[in-house]
Amino acid sequence: MKEQFAVIPGAESFYFEGNDIGILISHGFIGTPQSVRFLGEQLAKQGFTVLAPRLKGHGTHYLDMEKCTHEDWYKSLKQGYWQLKKRGKRVFVMGQSMGGTLALKLAAEYKDIEGMITINAALTLPAFEYLRGSSAPRFIKEGAPDIKAEGIHEITYEKAPVRAIHELQELMAETPTVLGEIEVPALCIKSFTDHVVPPENTVFIYRALSSKNKRLVTLPNSYHVASMDHDKEFIVEQAARFIRTYAAVHSYAAVK
């Protein structure tokens, strides 16, 4: 699928060159790399290499998104993985909302990923259930992003294609079947209050992973788009500590 519209200024993919640890960050459904840019910039300041690809059909126009499948979105993330590998990076994957769902899929497929972090990963979206199996309407109006902090602007679409919502539902339905295949260290982050994805999604993921090293963290003061909310500095702190811990473990194991 070729996109027909230009990328919205500020919604572009971003890359920061750093050390040999590459952090691949995925934004969520209808979002863009702008929503995870704070996390990326702060992790880059700590020396890591960071790549946040723009998922196909996102950050341009909702008519582009309407033509995409969930495999298109997953392919965008896989291309980011291979970009980091070709640069000789050791990969950790991190994703928010649908980005977390895609990160789970990636960690199940590529066993050399050294760790994964999910933030309010989506397996169910109750607000969209009424659209399951329905072809009408063609688009639904998107409300304001679920962010507790005031005055935050997220680049997103004003409408969501129902066809794209069906693709998201298919992705969410497939993902639980691969959770048991994931054995890498995992940091599962959820907001205490999330009006989009029930926090129980993250608890389910945490319990279903086969990872020996896994941790569940709750954010006290953020809603769904936590990467832009009050706890964003805490997310960076937790992510950096997690990555350093398991990158060091891997290094020691390799030497041994």
230 is catalytic: no
Catalytic residue among 224, 227, 229, 231: 224
Question: Is-cis flag, bond preceding 9, omega within 30?
Answer: no
Q: What does the block give as tokens for 228?
A: 């832009």
Of 7, 92, 98, the residue nearest 50 (C-alpha):
92
194 is catalytic: yes
C-alpha count within 13 angstroms, C-beta hemisphere, residue 54: 22
Alpha carbons 225 and 194: distance in angstroms, whole number: 9
Catalytic residue among 26, 35, 76, 97: 97
Q: Are the C-beta atoms of residues 102 and 73 closer than 8 Å to each other?
A: yes
Catalytic residue among 64, 146, 194, 231: 194
Amino acid identity, residue 112?
A: D
Q: Where is 77: in which H helix or E strand?
A: helix 70-86
76 is catalytic: no
C-alpha count within 13 angstroms, C-beta hemisphere, residue 21: 23
- Torsion of Cα atoms, 53 then 56 then 62 then 64, to 10°: 140
* Active-site residue list: 97, 194, 224
